[in-house]
Amino acid sequence: MSNKLEQLKQFSDVVADTGDIEAIKKFKPLDATTNPSLLYKAAQMEQYSGLVQDALATSDNVEDASDKLAVAIGAEILTVVPGRISTEVDARLSFDTKASIEKAHKLIGLYEAAGISKDRVLIKLASTWEGIKAAEVLEKEGINCNLTLLFSFSQAAACADAGAFLISPFVGRILDWYKKATGKTEYDKFEDPGVQSVTKIYNYYKQHGYNTVVMGASFRNTGELEALAGCDRLTISPQLLGELEADTGSLERILSPENITMNTEKLLENEAAFRFSFNEDQMATEKLSEGIRGFVADQINLENYLKAQKA
């Protein structure tokens, strides 16, 4: 019998949530995603030392070196995945639509200079109102986007309305919040609030015929993955990929466009309505803020690491 990873690949496109090219080679995902936290870890790996030095040698400042390193690691990953790489816009630009668009253009330009067409890249943006509006512009230019740090139904609805190519709803971080808020330490996989959030979003998109891809992210255990088998895509850490590969049990498809039971009215919000409904969701408000702060911190850590390497 095939293992659960191979079975899962029959239902969902599997994406590696890592910058470690050796792990990517091992698990053979369709795509890969990176973020400032993963890039900071990757920059310290011996296998990427040459890319770090090249980025520093061809840059006037650490911001440029960081962008060039992100693209260089992305380009390296694209030699072993058949699909796309997600590369993130600096989280410090999360509330600046114009600057986010400019950064996206810069990253795509660096990829094109490396001989990689934009159709193999997803630009990652935080799912703030400004990030969603930046994605709306970029998508019209033919630059596909991955809207990340997504915790609420309101965010998901706005992303689909903006024509985003893909969203990354964060399953595990939602679970983290509810565990802390309620004191409940164990959840059945189908009662997991992160799983329930992604399930609702997936069904809403299929019900209303949106083309936006739903890619569950930020998983804490394989039970969450099993409960979302059939989701368009799932981005998974090497640890959980390994656990799925080692498990030879049977895996059932849970999510399917043909198996939608919900009937939710289409949600179309202007900026004021979006901000109000998002503000009403305490979990989403706190986790988005925390997530942006975390990515900013690791972006700064990466830049400080590059400064130290240049010294």
Name every residue whose Cβ is closer than 8 Å to that of residue 45 and which is 6 or more positions away in sequence: 20
Residue 229 identity: A
Domains and CATH numbers, the chain: 4-310 (3.20.20.70)
Banded pLDDT at 262 (limits 50, 70, 90)? confident
Question: Is 103 among the catalytic positions?
Answer: no
Using the structure block, give the residue that is written with the tokens 């790489």: 85
Position 150 scores a pLDDT of 98
Q: Is the pLDDT of residue 248 over 80?
A: yes
Mean pLDDT, range 221-248, rounded to an integer: 97
Give yes or no for residue 229 having a pLDDT over 70. Answer: yes
pLDDT digits (tens, 9 = 90+) for 85-121: 999 999 999 999 999 999 999 999 999 999 999 999 9
Q: Which residues contact 289 (CB under 8 A, 6 or more apart)?
A: none
pLDDT digits (tens, 9 = 90+) for 177-215: 999 999 999 999 999 999 999 999 999 999 999 999 999
Whether the Cβ atoms of residue 149 and residue 129 lie closer than 8 Å to each other: no
d(C-alpha 291, C-alpha 288), whole Å: 5
> 4, 103, 124, 133: which is the annotated catalytic residue?
124
**pLDDT-wise least confident of 26-40, 74-88, 136-150, 174-188:** 26-40
Q: Which two tokens stand for residue 212?
A: 């936006």
> Residue 1: which pLDDT band, with cuts at 50, 70 and 90?
low
Encoded tokens for 33: 């995603």
* Average pLDDT value for the chain: 95
d(CA 311, CA 303): 12
Tokens of 165: 């190519």
Helices marked H in the chain — which ranges?
4-11, 21-27, 36-43, 49-57, 62-77, 97-113, 129-140, 153-161, 171-182, 193-208, 222-227, 238-246, 271-279, 282-310
